[in-house]
Amino acid sequence: MAQNITAPLSGKVISLDIKVGKKVEEDDEALVIEALKMENPVYAPCNGTVKEIKVAVGDLVEEDQVLAVIE
Partner 1 sequence: MMSRVFSLFESTGFAYLTPGMVFMWAIGVTLIYLAIARRFEPLLLLPIGFGVIMANLPLAGLMHPGEGLLWRFYHYGIQWEVIPPLIFLGLGALTDFAPLLANPLLIFLGAGAQVGVYLTFFAAFGLGFSLNESASIAIIGGADGPTTIFLTTKLAPHLLGSCAMAAYSYMALVPIIQPPIMRLLTTRKERLIRMQKSRKVSPLEKIVFPIVATLLIVLLTPAAAPLISMLMLGNLFRESKVVERLNLTSQNELMNIVTIFLGVSIGATLSAENFLRRDVIFIFFFGLFAFMVSTATGVLLAKLMNLFLTTKINPLLGAAGVSAVPMSARVVSNVGAEADKKNYLLMYAMGPNVAGVIGTVIAAGVFLAFLK
Query: Which residues contact partner 1 (rule: CB under 8 A)?
Result: 8-10, 27, 35-38, 40-41, 43, 63
Sign of CA dihedral 8, 13, 17, 18: positive
Which residue's CB is nearer to partner 1, number 20 or number 39?
A: 39
20 vs 27 by CB, closer to partner 1: 27
Q: Do β-strands 60-61 and 29-35 pair in parallel, antiparallel, or remain unpaired?
A: unpaired
Is residue 9 classed exposed, middle or buried when 0-12, 13-18 and 19+ CB atoms within 10 A define those classes? middle
Task: Tell me which DSSP letter residue 19 carries.
Answer: -
Least distance CB 43 / partner 1 (angstroms):
6
Residue among 5 and 50 whose Cβ is closer to partner 1: 5
> What is the closest distance, in whole angstroms, from the C-beta atom of residue 38 to partner 1 in the complex?
5
